[in-house]
Structure 1
Amino acid sequence: MAASSKPTTTIAKPFHVAQFTARDYSAFGIAGALCCTITHGAMTPIDVVKTRIQVDPNLARHSLLSGGRKIVAAEGPRGLLTGFGPTAVGYFVQGGAKFAGYEFWKKKFIEVAGDQESAVKYRTAIYLGASSVAEFFADILLTPLEATRIRLVSQRGYATGLVTGFTRLVREGGVRDLYAGFLPIICKQIPYAIGQFTVNEFCHELVYRNMSEEKKRSLSGVSTFSINLGSGVIAGFAAAILSQPADTLLSQINKGHGPTGSMAYRLVTLAKQAGFRGLFAGLGPRMVMTAGLVSGQFLLYGAIKDALGAPPGLEIHKEA
């Protein structure tokens, strides 16, 4: 008798996801904190001009250059460094939480996918989910310091710096004023993070997908730097465009503009008053600023991680 044939089953290869240690996450956090505080601190003058264009009617139609000249003429060069303290501290804590959080949540969502094929198939959802969740928790740390920064920038003479500004905000408004901008800030920062991380991931994927394995292995340091820089610039443009409307509303809310009522009602009212054009006021300067921020952050993040001996982040790019 012939032996009966049995259907063959393909045994899936074990799905192995690299596990990060507490030391690895500490390195991710330190690298993220330093890259964000350095880049945001360096961009303070541009951010000052951008915020003034958003909230000051006298500067609403000015360009980045002409707005900066007007501020210097009225307040001196120090006027362009208004809010440097809360910017540096705020983005130090936010950057550490965001970059380490992105690595953590990306790994968790890859594990939820269950296998390599599913992880690649749903990589967009993984990028979106990881960046959104990481940014949400990072913004809990950022919001009070961002509120202080905007008060210092938008209200001349409000305080002399971070400590006095934060103290005055707590004394006059308490926790309510510190977190008055939490809803608009997550409406701004989550789209920002989505543009930053997701677009950067896909830019790298697009470049490497069109390279042979031999070419990838023989890439020079200059070529790798150029790829990272270009991907960061494109991701920065995307982040700026996606987050611009909420960024404008955040500046208005923290200056006290708009009607009384719930935050959602105030945001809707301010958005209607501003209109499409008003919501995108200052987009040009912000795109310049954000392209520099995001590309600089990714370059510094990689360099600092390497210096700390941290492992590379997980990749789920589609190869072909």
Structure 2
Amino acid sequence: MSKKEKPLHSLIAGTTAGAVEAFITYPTEYVKTRSQFSGKRESPIAIIKNTLQTKGVAGLYSGCMALVIGNSVKAGVRFVSYDHFKHALADAEGKVSAPRSLLAGLGAGMMEAIFAVTPSETIKTKLIDDAKSPNPRFRGLIHGTTCIVREEGLRGIYRGLFPVMMRQGANSAVRFTTYTTLKQLVQGQGRIGQPISSFMTFGIGAVAGLVTVYTTMPLDVIKTRMQSLEARQAYRNSFHCAYRIFTEEGILRFWTGTTPRLARLVLSGGIVFTVYENVIKLIGGRQV
């Protein structure tokens, strides 16, 4: 029978992996988010150049702590949830088929969207949106969060919950299914559960990130628009947002920010799974 990660160890490994990945890859997330706002279209290079000229290197980390904290919690929730669902859906031999892995990933994505991703990404998006103005209102994570809650209530940090749930559900379903399928192929029949190298783990995770980007990009664009500072005035709901993007800007606009998001998710897929697997090994966190 396959080994199952202990919940506490999954949480420790997942939160560590999430925090490390978020900090390393944050500039790509910043560029991706900036490129998805409505208005003037800017290339990733132009955004980086403009930010460095006006805000310095620190500008590329605007809203970073919101994502680092949220990403660590998200990764912890994701791995604990996925391990729970995967074990519950495994067959008598402990193997998980691709459809069942997809279902487990979908459930994990929904959990992380509700408990971690929506509030952290809403705050991060608003901080980035505010930081691009000549005179930003928010002085940092705590001040920005306080202002958002005071002005919009808890709904303000849960704006865009629906597209986030759809995106995270799809993200986790596609990423975990791709990763699990490729890992089983690499390990070979009859060797399921045997360890593979960190280099191979990174490569498999990177491929999982690549597949995830192209299949879920439209949901990411809608999510960013719904969490921007102008969302309350511009869009009635996620469907209205999608309709306006499609009719006013064209279908290709749904893949805006693909390059920086691709860079981040390919790296993050490799980093997260590699850090997670190594922390699990370090703390001996698997049980039969």
Counterpart of 1:31, as a letter, is A
Residue 37 (str. 1) matches residue 19 (str. 2): yes
Q: Do the aligned partners of residues 99 and 272 (structure 1) sit closer, same or farther apart at CA in structure 2, a change above 3 Å counting?
A: farther
Q: Match for residue 78 of structure 1?
A: 58
Contact between 1:249 and 1:271, CA under 8 Å: does it hold in 2? no
Contact between 2:109 and 2:173, CA under 8 Å: does it hold in 1? no
Counterpart of 1:273, as a letter, is E
Q: Give, in whole Å, the separation in 2 of the partners of 1:261 and 1:248.
A: 16
Tell me, which stretches of 5 or more residues in structure 2 are unaligned?
Answer: none
Residue 229 (str. 1) matches residue 202 (str. 2): yes
Q: Give, in whole Å, the separation in 2 of the partners of 1:72 and 1:38.
A: 23
Give the secondary-structure state (helix, strand or coil) at the position aligned to 2:253: helix
Question: What does 1:1-320 align with in structure 2 at a 5 Å threshold?
Answer: 24-55=6-37, 57-58=39-40, 60-62=41-43, 64-110=44-90, 113=91, 115-116=92-93, 120=95, 123-142=97-116, 143-156=118-131, 157-209=136-188, 224-255=197-228, 256-257=230-231, 259-311=234-286
Deviations 1:158-190 (A, max 9, x none): 412211111111111112221111111112111
Query: How far off its partner does 1:259 sit?
Result: 4.1
Counterpart of 1:279, as a letter, is F
Q: Choose between structure 1 and 2 for higher RCO, CA contacts under 8 A separated by at least 6 residues.
A: 2
Q: Give, in whole Å, the separation in 2 of the partners of 1:47 and 1:82.
A: 10
Q: Give, in whole Å, the separation in 2 of the partners of 1:103 and 1:280.
A: 31
Contact between 1:28 and 1:305, CA under 8 Å: does it hold in 2? yes
Q: Give, in whole Å, the separation in 2 of the partners of 1:76 and 1:293.
A: 24
Q: Give, in whole Å, the separation in 1 of the partners of 2:209 and 2:47.
A: 22
Query: How far off its partner does 1:274 sit?
Result: 3.7
Q: Percent identity?
A: 20
Query: How far off its partner does 1:269 sit?
Result: 3.5
Aligned CA RMSD, in angstroms, stands at 2.4
Q: Give, in whole Å, the separation in 2 of the partners of 1:151 and 1:262.
A: 17
Runs of 4 or more off by more than 4 Å in structure 1? Answer: 16-20
Contact between 1:90 and 1:141, CA under 8 Å: does it hold in 2? no
Q: Could you tell me the TM-score, scaled by structure 1's length?
A: 0.80
Q: Give, in whole Å, the separation in 1 of the partners of 2:188 and 2:218.
A: 34
Tell me, which stretches of 5 or more residues in structure 1 are unaligned?
Answer: 1-15, 315-320
Query: How far off its partner does 1:275 sit?
Result: 2.6
Q: Could you tell me the TM-score, scaled by structure 2's length?
A: 0.89
Q: Give, in whole Å, the separation in 1 of the partners of 2:216 and 2:254.
A: 10
Q: Match for residue 10 of structure 1?
A: none
Q: Do the aligned partners of residues 260 and 297 (structure 1) sit closer, same or farther apart at CA in structure 2, a change above 3 Å counting?
A: closer
Q: Give, in whole Å, the separation in 1 of the partners of 2:152 and 2:20.
A: 30
